[in-house]
Copies of this chain bind each other. A is one copy, B any other.
């Protein structure tokens, strides 16, 4: 009988095992898992620690027993694979309960060992917790129950912020320490600014541009000597692919340090497949190798490995890496490439910011959001998108991720027919608006200017025209801007300075109408993309990037 062994019994591994069973009812399938649980919801761990998910059992989607009963799988927990002998196709395995070691032969091997939290070498770091497994979530929950009052979360990534929120929910005083000038690296800085504000509004102290140098008994010490109270320390500064087993067996690793696989999930050994957080993927945008430690890809790849073993045709294209996270009242979501990454890769791009409402403004309960779109300046295909706000952020990112996958041009977004009733969207949905704005720049040649380009343009002689109302202007404006409300512009055209103009409103929309009007009157005009709101967020992000600004 053909025998497949799967190493790692969670997202990628168990998806491979159950799928393979459906494709090969008679095959022998063994799953070896180091930990005490399989098929658990890693993604739920922060919420279990925070008490949102109340029952520990809810985290366990399957058990070795249920997988045996339903799928006829031989699932062995507390069982570590120590080594692969590729020559003889045998694994060296240790039963972690008894300590006994034994060998297991395979015809096909699927590796889905995941990734491990990065733990820096720091004095006292042994006291710090990490969060990857149910056991670690138990430890975190126990620390909270044990009376911890203060917490320092090291790392402002997705997991760090989820943990910070959940600890705050439990009443702890929480500080987040982040080495970078912003949280959530997939966001560009001006999109991260509202997240910083949301953390502050919810009492989470954010220390940007800061590193931890020591973990002491009940404080942590930062690079500048500051001490932060920390009954509890959680490390969430990233994960690294679990590659010991693979590299020990001489399997090829990729440039980013993950296991190298081809489009069929096969490693450099034709009998060994690898999937999930441990492997390298290819970015759909740009084609660069990348680590995308997300559950969607792990599950997808696991299933594809089973297909490949069963002889079905398999081909996984480049990955987009859509990600989403709740940060208190904000939803933050990204898909594709961000501006930082495109700039670093030297790839030309165009940027659009908007600040639409989740649904029609005349219907109660609309929530604001900020959207950013990146597109190819030549063929207008989508390169990436970011969204931060309330309701409807998840929907817009999923639509944009679908459009990006399908290779749509940005101006085609105007053509999408998205469900509109007052409680759900607008007659021109925010995604349609992105398409309109893109089209205006692409075919109509409307010029926009980005928040970080304003200072230089003003330096070079451009005049700044604020077309918002007098009240909006009074509440805050760009330095040196002249106030000339859109609704007075036609009559006061004579007052417009005879120079290159940068026009702006609150979000870009009135600026667009003003730009059209002024262009029609012969002016050379740039519309400030995303308006005052994006400029404000962008300049705030520059502030927080200054050393010691936290």
Let me know if A416 and B402 touch, CB within 8 A: yes
Let me know if A59 and B362 touch, CB within 8 A: yes
The 4 tightest CB contacts between A and B, nearest first, are A25-B520, A324-B419, A406-B406, A22-B516
Partner of A422, one of B41, B331, B362, B398: B41
In the assembled complex, the Cα of A203 lies from the Cα of B408 at a distance in Å of 45
A43 adjacent to chain B (CB < 8 Å):
yes
Residues of B within 8 A of A423 (CB): 326
**1/0 per residue A308-340: CB within 8 Å of B?**
000011001101111111100001010100000
Residues of B within 8 A of A22 (CB): 512-513, 516-517
Let me know if B422 and A405 touch, CB within 8 A: no
Please name the residue on chain B nearest to A313 by beta carbon. Answer: B443
Q: List 29 A-B contacts (CB under 8 A).
A: A21-B513, A21-B516, A23-B444, A23-B516, A24-B520, A25-B521, A44-B360, A44-B362, A44-B422, A61-B362, A70-B486, A70-B487, A70-B513, A158-B421, A295-B420, A296-B418, A296-B420, A296-B427, A296-B432, A297-B417, A299-B427, A303-B436, A312-B443, A317-B415, A333-B419, A395-B395, A399-B399, A402-B416, A406-B406
CB distance from A383 to the nearest CB of B (A): 15
CB distance from A89 to the nearest CB of B (A): 25
Let me know if B69 and A335 touch, CB within 8 A: no
Residues of B within 8 A of A412 (CB): 405
A543 adjacent to chain B (CB < 8 Å):
no
In the assembled complex, the Cα of A516 lies from the Cα of B401 at a distance in Å of 32
Residues of B within 8 A of A69 (CB): 487, 490
A397 adjacent to chain B (CB < 8 Å):
yes
Let me know if B398 and A405 touch, CB within 8 A: no
Residues of B within 8 A of A486 (CB): 70
Interface residues of A (CB under 8 A from B): 11, 18, 21-26, 41, 43-44, 47, 52-53, 58-59, 61, 66, 69-72, 158, 162, 294-300, 303, 312-313, 316-317, 319-326, 331, 333, 335, 360-364, 394-395, 397-399, 401-403, 405-408, 412, 414-425, 427-429, 432, 436, 443-444, 486-487, 490, 512-513, 516-517, 519-521
Please name the residue on chain B nearest to A487 by beta carbon. Answer: B69
Let me know if B326 and A421 touch, CB within 8 A: yes
Residues of B within 8 A of A427 (CB): 11, 43, 295-296, 298-299
In the assembled complex, the Cα of A139 lies from the Cα of B318 at a distance in Å of 57
In the assembled complex, the Cα of A312 lies from the Cα of B442 at a distance in Å of 12
CB distance from A164 to the nearest CB of B (A): 15
Let me know if B397 and A419 touch, CB within 8 A: yes
Partner of A43, one of B72, B422, B512: B422
Partner of A300, one of B41, B331, B362, B415: B415
CB distance from A424 to the nearest CB of B (A): 5
Residues of B within 8 A of A401 (CB): 416-419
Residues of B within 8 A of A299 (CB): 427-428
Let me know if B320 and A417 touch, CB within 8 A: yes
In the assembled complex, the Cα of A298 lies from the Cα of B326 at a distance in Å of 35
Partner of A395, one of B325, B398, B513: B398
Let me know if A43 and B420 touch, CB within 8 A: yes
In the assembled complex, the Cα of A61 lies from the Cα of B162 at a distance in Å of 39
Please name the residue on chain B nearest to A446 by beta carbon. Answer: B22
CB distance from A34 to the nearest CB of B (A): 21
CB distance from A295 to the nearest CB of B (A): 4
Let me know if A424 and B362 touch, CB within 8 A: no
Let me know if A422 and B47 touch, CB within 8 A: yes
Let me know if B419 and A335 touch, CB within 8 A: yes
In the assembled complex, the Cα of A300 lies from the Cα of B331 at a distance in Å of 29
Residues of B within 8 A of A18 (CB): 513
Let me know if B397 and A399 touch, CB within 8 A: no
Residues of B within 8 A of A362 (CB): 41, 44, 53, 58-59, 61
In the assembled complex, the Cα of A270 lies from the Cα of B59 at a distance in Å of 65
Let me know if A26 and B399 touch, CB within 8 A: no
In the assembled complex, the Cα of A423 lies from the Cα of B324 at a distance in Å of 10
Please name the residue on chain B nearest to A46 by beta carbon. Answer: B422
CB distance from A183 to the nearest CB of B (A): 15
In the assembled complex, the Cα of A9 lies from the Cα of B398 at a distance in Å of 34
CB distance from A336 to the nearest CB of B (A): 9
Known A-B contacts: A53-B364, A312-B443. Give 10 more (CB < 8 A): A44-B363, A52-B364, A59-B362, A69-B487, A70-B487, A296-B432, A300-B415, A300-B428, A398-B418, A399-B402
Please name the residue on chain B nearest to A519 by beta carbon. Answer: B25
In the assembled complex, the Cα of A436 lies from the Cα of B18 at a distance in Å of 14
Please name the residue on chain B nearest to A490 by beta carbon. Answer: B72
CB distance from A63 to the nearest CB of B (A): 12
CB distance from A149 to the nearest CB of B (A): 26
Residues of B within 8 A of A23 (CB): 444, 516
Of A325, A399, A419, most B-chain CB atoms within 10 Å: A419
Please name the residue on chain B nearest to A158 by beta carbon. Answer: B421
Please name the residue on chain B nearest to A393 by beta carbon. Answer: B419
In the assembled complex, the Cα of A303 lies from the Cα of B414 at a distance in Å of 11
In the assembled complex, the Cα of A503 lies from the Cα of B314 at a distance in Å of 28
In the assembled complex, the Cα of A18 lies from the Cα of B520 at a distance in Å of 14
Residues of B within 8 A of A405 (CB): 408, 412, 415-417
